[in-house]
Chain A
Amino acid sequence: MIPVKKVLSTLLATSMILLTLSGCTSTTSSNSASATPTTVVEEDITLNVYNWGDYMDPEVIAQFEEENPHIKIQETYFDSNEAMLAKLKADSSTFDIVIPSDYVVERMIKEDMLAEIDKSNIPNYAGLLDYCKNQSFDPNNKYSIPYMWGTVGILYNTKKVTETVDSWNILFNTKYKKKIIMYDSIRESMLVALKLQGKSCNTKDDADLKAAENLLISQKPLVLAYGTDEIKRKMINNEAALAVVYSGDAILAMDENEDLEYVIPKEGSNVWFDNIVILKNSTHKKAAETFINFLCRPDVAAKNSAYIGYTTPVEQAIEDLGEGYSDNPAYNPSTEVIERCEIYHDLEDYMQKYNEIWINIKSS
């Protein structure tokens, strides 16, 4: 006979573990000062913006609310595209504006979640860089306006790495054993292995994937750690020689340690775009477009981009930011560099396969 109490206690322990795993989304509102009840002509509107954490300068939001007294911005944060999609599927009526990455825009269009954007309400769209427009995930930018963009590359310490860094190959060099930090994400790790072999980072070819898996497993003894946000600090503190990073992190790290350099390898890499979209169920489409137009204004875009660290698609803003930005290859890569980069596409069911490879790498 099993003592019932013991069984219950085990159930309790297991459910506690499960409970800690759930409910990991954080919601914070940008405490917009409560509107003073003056005589308002236009109806007060609250625009609900669903954005990455720390991905919009609070001063920019304050400035918008000042210029448009009848529109309040309420920001909620997500930490991954996947978590955001899950929330939108459960509740599609709360948010007006969302800032998803390229391959997610593709999926959202496919799933009919987005409203068409009336570009006559967004005159500032004309000032965006040509190569940020008309990307394959949304030709003619019918549903999305680019917000920020960047690349993935290698951040390295010139004091520790003496040879020229121009290839992903260096991340597989035994000379740098335990001095390499990889990005703790499936897509970025597969990017490194696939690009090194001259393949697409969106491949659905099993042989290519198997080769990439073997390559990454063989690389594992050389890797110091797989990281995300902490990579920046590690590189600034000279704790590693090489790291796979996003361009924005590279810029911030290079600011604090002059020995750091950023390079986009010759085999090509990933260029990504985060975009502003309006949800189909939004009842404030006009106000949302006003906000998007505001974000595309050169002075606002420059301020926002300087705060976030990633590159704005607004051409004039890049020029206005000037030294340290427009002449910085990490912030403003040349067209030639961008041309050898590829954007991520929605892998659909193949994501399962990629994830399985990732678990295999991690448990090898």
Chain B
Amino acid sequence: MPTDHGIGASSKRREDLRFLTGRGRYTDDINLQGQAFVHFLRSDVAHGRINGIDTSEAEKMPGVIRIFTGADFEGVGGIPCGWQVTDREGNPMREPPHPVLAQGKVRHVGDPIVGVVAETAAQARSAAEAVVLDIEELPAVVDMRKALADGSAKVHDELDGNLCYDWVFGSDDAAIDEAFSKAAHVTTLELTNNRLSPNAMEPRVAVGDYSWASDESTLYTTSQNPHVIRLLMGAFVLGIPEHKLRVIAPDVGGGFGSKIYHYAEEAFCTFAAKQLRRPVKWTSTRSEAFISDAHGRDHITTIQLAMDAENNFLGVRTDTLANMGAYLSTFAPSIPTYLHGTLMAGNYKTPAVQVNVKAVFTNTVPVDAYRGAGRPEATYQLERLIDKAAREVGADPVALRRQNFITQFPYATPVAVEYDTGDYNATMDKLLEMIDRDGFEARAEASRKAGKLRGLGINCYIEACGIAPSALVGQLGARAGLYESATVRVNATGGLVVMTGSHSHGQGHETSFAQVVADMIGIPENMVEIVHGDTANTPMGMGTYGSRSLAVGGSAMVRATEKIIAKAKKIAAHLMEASEGDIELKDGQFSVAGTDKSVAWGDVTLAAYVPHNYPLDEIEPGLEETAFYDPNNFTYPSGAYACEVEVDPETGKVQVMGFAAADDFGNIVNPMIVSGQVHGGLAQGIGQALLENVAYDENGQLLSASYMDYAMPRADDLPFYKVDHSSVTPCTHNPLGVKGCGEAGAIGSPPAVVNAVVDALQRGGYAHVTHIDMPLTPARVWSAMNG
């Protein structure tokens, strides 16, 4: 039942007041006394040898304080990678160095070479223009297949090639070969998952500061995980112990993964601030963001499905080339492996699944997680493949999926994960209620009369969220734990401050987290304040990504609140001279079971801090508890999505006419925020399917380097969505029974769009079009039709 407060209520997002009225405090709003500015001179070639850097003229320019080059960072660590993948032979991946400023070579357009620090940003930029670079351009490695070919130029001279790792996962060769040898039908699909630029509304910013008096460094940065940045930058790059380093990520305007990683600019500003004894600030331009924010996706895949004569799935095997770009970004190696290969079973009880991924270095911007991170790539392959298979064998695409659904839980897949719960038929049933599939033919006829081709695409998805069980990911190569933390501090007058290691950069945690804690105690939400984003006043936490915040961070918060309640009950029992076991907490009142005795929440919190009448011999004064929560499994949101499109056969233009999403996110804390998360994810997924594409030319020049050429989805590209999350199978292993909702929209929607377009063309008589690679721009659709 909908409620008006607490868990299940669509409480208005309290943070929106400041965001929507321009009163947010973003990193670029932070300006420190004596602040200097850095401008980075970046490579304009994709690959080149640095033969010389002449800064002599630039140093004479007005306002210049100091000019840094790679040589200044020779005693400093490189940007570390947080995950080591082991290849099929048991060898560690190839892990080349990633200097803060280029040393010896430049490896992608945008690679920072020189950092010019000056009194103003404009002076820094002008001086950077006076730096004379002597760079010998080398042949660029752009295409992944060519990168792996014999004789290719090498991105990293010290490696034996451009292969980072060759990884195999899931069923063994014997099992997969047997599945395909028994097959009555094999469907094969080759596809690419297009490279995307993250485009958070707020570009990245870093401000480094240093206090000589306390020998403390502070970094203000646009981060999704300030503690991770503190650990990576402090321990691996700059050698600053964590107790002398504070990282603050204040309001952050969107991340989508791109603000997880530790970037060179953060290390530079922190380093330079200490060297210069002045705060140093960098604000990315949008143009810089295109060539310095980690990109997402960029896979080339061949996938095959083996079915028996009754259309039961026997086996799935995939071969993927995954682009790493020029350097390994923080979590890059894990994305095409453990966030992709582990999901290749999808929603289906396919007995044999084998995944091969070759990760490749190229002279392009590094690639890492972007909303969905590996799971969109897995879902897209599998759900496009099943659609193609259904067409080839003449099966209804919904019936074929249902026939092969996993229906018994827990279910251990052939790709190492165990789904705890789910009901894929329930979300499919819900979806079909939402879309009027029976009415499609009439709508298609109306479209035909208007000269348009109408198509319907339906697909499922499953994803793994709640990242992640530390012991498991440790075995898989993670160099970090992936627990989460919360401290609940109750004040004397009853209000609470919850300090969380999660980080909100648009997700609405300040609202939904408060709902959870307020609900547990039975007090108004406005008595709960959520604090995040500052390593100095939050417990060590791993941050927000992978739809993990409520499932992992929320669980830590629940555990800490449980400790608070347990202690508060002891105090209440003392105040009422009752037995602790008889104390009940409801609606902010402690009462003694079976009596009319009660004390209010505020009486108890006051007693905790004014312990005149207090069980000091049993418990300490105060009411503050911390909990760390490490999940024992991933969570597995799932759902069924449908897209209806019209294609203009004269131009190839695709218009999305309707989109429906039926998700199972487990229990829901704030339905409005969940719907908003789905809406945003769908916009990005539809954007990937129809519009967005990072394109390089053969020389490694970025063609899609601004919004003039990189097409972001706009409101009129998108339909009014139908979203539903009433199908609930609660997660079985976290205290809230929640699964995570942040990425589902971006994961489930691209195959729905492409399935719909292919359906439209097939129905329209274009039988030769069985696949079109994203983005399905008018030009590409027209070419496919006329190809």
Q: Do A and B bind each other?
A: no
Chain A residues at the B interface, C-beta cutoff of 8 Å: none
Chain B residues at the A interface, C-beta cutoff of 8 Å: none
